Structure 1
Amino acid sequence: MDRIIQKKKWTPQRITLISLGVLAFLFISYQFLFADRQTSQKVDREKVTIGNVVVGSFQETIVEDGTVVPYHTRYLDAIEGGVIQDIHLKSGAIVEKGDVIMTLNNTAVQLDVLNREAQLYEQINLLRNTRLSMEQNSLSLQTQLAEIDYRINLLKPRYERNKALFEDDLISKEDFEAVEEEYLYNLRRREYTYESFLKDSMSVADQLRQLNESEKRMVQSLATVGRMLENLTIKAPINGILSTPQLELGQSVSPGQRLGQVDELGSFKVRAEIDEIYLSQIDTGLDASFTYDNKKHPLRITKIYPNVSNGVFEADLAFLEEIPKDIKRGLSVRLTIALSKSKEALLVPRGSYFQSTAGQWAYVIGENSDKAVRKEIKLGRKNLQYYEVVDGLEPGDQIITSTYDPFNDKDVIILE
């Protein structure tokens, strides 16, 4: 009798397949959960620059362009227009204050000055005649008072004698009244004349004061009118060196037109052009320096021009020590301006890496390691050599300071 043979459920082949599947699942899970998925790139150590994180003295500085300019410059502007009649001194000449540089001719101004002077002289003469008339009137009143006093002095003794004689019935009443009437008349006349003199004196004093002030103003106006002619003569305002554009005889000049400048000799300053982003940080009193002829020359900001043009503003810097003897106007210099005082800080060298990371991360090399791992950091202020470390680095750390462009944002750089 045949016997039914039952098929085995767990065959060796099946067990093998299940085992392989479990192993594959475990391997994939391990890779997903525990394996290192960081991207890396091998780089020749000789092709990168490495910098050390150190503690040191730090001072925030910026580098800007500057130009040597005269410390004092006086511009030559035409106050009155005209035609160039004579050119006495040319550009480059050494001038002294008051030297005539050029003269202009303007017939209209000359005629205008003559007319104004004639009018002013006429007004001045009229004022002086008025003052003379008032003084003569005052003198006439004083003369009248003197005459009245003289008459009173003559009549008073006569009046007193006749009064006594009349009281003694030695003269007639008519004779006494005649003398009395004349005496009293002169007393009343003196009273009225003196009262008129007092009023006239007060009025004359006030009017004379006004006349004198008017005359003074007219004399000043006369001087101002006279200076209109002087303005046609261009003179050196200070001692120095003359600089003028190309000017020719017969050339027309407009009022306000700049005809040149005079720069003070031997006295210079530096005018800096500074990026507008530093406007709030720049103030008078900040120190700066530049190197010329292998020597460092200290400067100090003395004046700021806050008007921004083309993204920059200007500032004047004065020399703190002796000015170089061979320095000339127009020399371009590279200025190092200190924005803060020196203090101790954690520092990392400057490098091309900042352009790739904006100071937010860096490749940090572990101690005795051949790997540089990407790490979040935070950098702050800067100077010519260092960035100030705010967070993410410790003294003794090393970072790659050369450009990160070839690394393509890899997580680990292996240094060979």
Structure 2
Amino acid sequence: MKKGIIVKLVLLVLTAATVLAAAGCGLFPKEDNIKAPALKTPKPVEYTFYQVVKGDIIKGSSGTGSMTSIYYYKHAFPSSGGIISAIHVSLGQYVNKGDLLVETDNSSLELEYLEATIDYTESKDKFDAIAAQYNRGEIGETEFRIEQLKFQYVETKYRNLKNAYENTKLVAQVSGKVVYINTEYTTNTNKEIVAGETIVAIDSADEKYMYLVFDKSVEAMKDSSATPQQFRVGTVLTLSLNPTKADPDPIKFEGVIVGTDQIIKDTGIGYIDTAKYYCKLTSYPDYGGDESRQITSGTLIRYTYVEDSREDVLMIPLSACYEYNGKHYVYMLDYSTNLKKEVYVELGLANETYVEVVSGLRKGDRIITG
């Protein structure tokens, strides 16, 4: 009996297995047919090359400075009182020595001064005649002394009025550019004149005081390798005016860096700003009568300073070199493997763009720059 039951169970299991096999994967989720990704050929590495050439390397600096007068004359009235009636100049205006700058209301003095001038002229002629008579012994000493006192009175009155009248005007004591006008007198027309207070200042155009000036940046004062260059006294600069369409290649001229002690000696000025470089022009460009190209206070001038130079040397871009453990290298392409390789190079003079190659490369070699 048991045997029959076992046989039936075995048949049942086999039947179920057969059914499942016939059903296949229909009883389970069907998997997608995922294809393997296609193989891609990698793009070849592309490099930027530079072909080693021969040329000239110049190390130096260039920039712009301005012509500056280091001496300016302050114009002020010697006595207080009165009100300015007119200021006849403006900032930046060029004036000549003797030009009228400022005047006050002198209408009350003008007539008195004119009368005193006439009296003085007449009295002087009269006294000169009496002095001649006295010298010839034609009149006595008492009469001469009386006439002398009369003339001295007229002369004193005349000179006092002359000083007062002249003090109602300020005239330029130097030729040059107006660099300062006291705005207290231009904005307040009722302000009384204060003795000694500067009203107009003029930069002297005297060549003695004219220098090409460059500011020393903070970086330049801290680091001698900074630009502008730490110029030494005696350094000669090549100079030119800024190029224009009409003058694309300006005339070259020269100047020399001078020390503040020499400037003090040459000009007699007691204080010189040590935070500036001073260049004294040793020659001037000849532009004939072209006033637009004349050098005056404020003229911008370009300078070029050559510290060192090499002619006909191998040269490569400075950016193509790198340093490791105190040695310099460039990259070149190994054509057998198409990979970069390091090449040791000995370098020489360099400027901001190029560097001289002393050894390690030849003319025509191609180095990788990017």
TM-score of the superposition, structure 2-length normalised? 0.45
TM-score of the superposition, structure 1-length normalised? 0.41
Larger relative contact order, structure 1 or 2 (CA cutoff 8 Å, min sep 6): 1
- Greater helix proportion: 1
- Rg: which structure is higher? 1
